[in-house]
């Protein structure tokens, strides 16, 4: 019997030691936090959240750059050449008075320096679709960020509700300890009255000690959960931190998953890419102006360098894109 009681005393010492190691401090003030605050703190601390503004700025810059496709496009070109032959007009075999005529001979050394301005009038809707593509791509990136934030939110939920579950288990443990302690008090009174044995009291004390050990394990698990929550929220939580029980959780949150919206944005982006393929194969029409300094100039009978300009309209339509259009659309469907 003494050996059994000694074991009980040793277990009590172990419980007290473990209790001290868990860092229970009864004199400290408690800190209260709710689930919404944890969501916000974790979101603010999330490294990728900084990309939200960057994505929006990139979207604005990309759309602005695409819109500049309507601006006049200015190009400068120049070249100098030497050719083996030039155009000449033979007059030696002609009858008089034509054989006395002479024409200037163009130099074999030639150059042309000019600038050209192209103004798009119709591009098949390519610039418009490119702007929509930039917007759709930015929406996809933003929604992909929302997907990652949703995963973060789910992780916070697991930790938060896991801590609340431990709190309930601790309360249940306390109730069990109170019941056992009440039974011990009654049993000890029975020992004094001769209606109970000391071994029965020892059994109850062993049960009480087991519950105390279970509580220490629960408190250690709670501290580990709070430490994880502190890492996500960049906050310091101690054993006195109180987590508020959420009043309600909107059921629609589990239905409106961000992945579904991401697929919608992806489908929209693929539709825009298909429109870009169609627009790139349409004819292009525009106005151009070219002016420069060349030898020879536009006057074929003037062999001296001269200024010149050419202006007009330009139509271009490449049919080569239709060869691969079907396959490119198939690739878009596979990627989606």
Using CA atoms, how far apart are residues 141 and 297, in angstroms rounded to an integer?
A: 54
Token readout for 28 is: 């400290």
| Neighbour tally for 120: CB within 10 Å | 16
Q: Tokens 């759309």 — which residue?
A: 63
The helix/strand/coil state of 216 is helix
Average pLDDT by stretches of 10, the chain with 336 residues: 48 47 47 90 85 88 90 94 83 64 79 95 92 92 90 92 94 93 87 80 89 93 93 89 80 67 88 91 94 89 89 92 88 79
pLDDT at position 198, please? 82
Distance of CA 206 to the CA centre of its chain: 56
Contacts of 184 (CB under 8 A, 6+ apart): 201, 204, 205, 208
User: Residues 276-300, buried b or exposed e (16+ Cβ, 10 A)?
Assistant: bbebbbeebebebebebebbbbeee
| pLDDT for the residue numbered 263 | 87
Task: Give me the domains of the chain, ranges plus CATH numbers.
Answer: 2-335 (1.20.1600)
Bridge partners for 192 per DSSP: none
Q: How are strands ordered across the β-sheet holding 109-122? A: 73-82, 109-122, 284-295, 306-316
pLDDT of residue 25: 40
* Single pTM value for the model: 0.69
Residue 49's pLDDT is 83
Instruction: Specify the pLDDT at position 96.
Output: 67
Cα(41)–Cα(233) distance, integer angstroms? 5
User: What are all long-range contacts of 203-209, with beta carbons under 8 Å and residues at least 24 apart?
Assistant: 204/180, 205/8, 206/8, 206/11, 207/180, 208/177, 208/180, 208/181, 208/184, 209/8, 209/11, 209/12, 209/15
């Amino acid at each position: 019997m003494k050996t059994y009681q000694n074991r009980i005393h040793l277990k009590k010492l172990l419980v007290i030691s473990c209790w001290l190691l868990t860092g229970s401090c009864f004199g400290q003030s408690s800190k209260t936090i709710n689930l919404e605050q944890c969501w916000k703190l974790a979101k603010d601390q999330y490294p990728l959240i900084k990309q939200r503004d960057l994505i929006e700025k990139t979207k604005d810059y990309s759309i602005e750059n695409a819109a500049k496709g309507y601006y006049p496009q200015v190009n400068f070109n120049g070249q100098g050449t030497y050719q083996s032959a030039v155009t000449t007009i033979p007059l030696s075999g002609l009858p008089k008075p034509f054989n006395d005529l002479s024409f200037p001979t163009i130099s074999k050394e030639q150059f042309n320096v000019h600038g050209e301005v192209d103004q798009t009038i119709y591009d098949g809707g390519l610039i418009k679709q490119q702007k929509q593509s930039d917007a759709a791509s930015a929406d996809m990136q933003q929604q992909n960020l929302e997907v990652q934030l949703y995963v973060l939110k789910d992780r916070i939920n697991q930790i938060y509700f896991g801590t609340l579950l431990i709190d309930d288990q601790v309360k249940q443990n306390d109730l069990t300890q109170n019941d056992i302690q009440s039974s011990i008090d009654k049993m000890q009174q029975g020992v004094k009255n001769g209606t109970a044995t000391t071994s029965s009291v020892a059994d109850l004390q062993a049960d009480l000690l087991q519950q105390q050990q279970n509580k220490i394990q629960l408190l250690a698990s709670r501290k580990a959960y709070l430490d994880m929550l502190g890492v996500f929220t960049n906050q310091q939580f101690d054993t006195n931190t109180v987590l508020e029980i959420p009043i309600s959780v909107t059921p629609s949150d589990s239905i409106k998953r961000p992945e579904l919206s991401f697929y919608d944005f992806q489908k929209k982006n693929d539709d825009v890419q298909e429109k870009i393929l169609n627009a790139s194969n349409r004819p292009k029409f525009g106005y151009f102006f070219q002016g420069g300094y060349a030898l020879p100039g536009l006057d074929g009978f003037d062999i001296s360098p001269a200024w010149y300009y050419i202006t007009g309209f330009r139509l271009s339509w490449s049919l080569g894109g239709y060869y691969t259009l079907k396959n490119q659309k198939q690739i878009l469907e596979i990627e989606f």
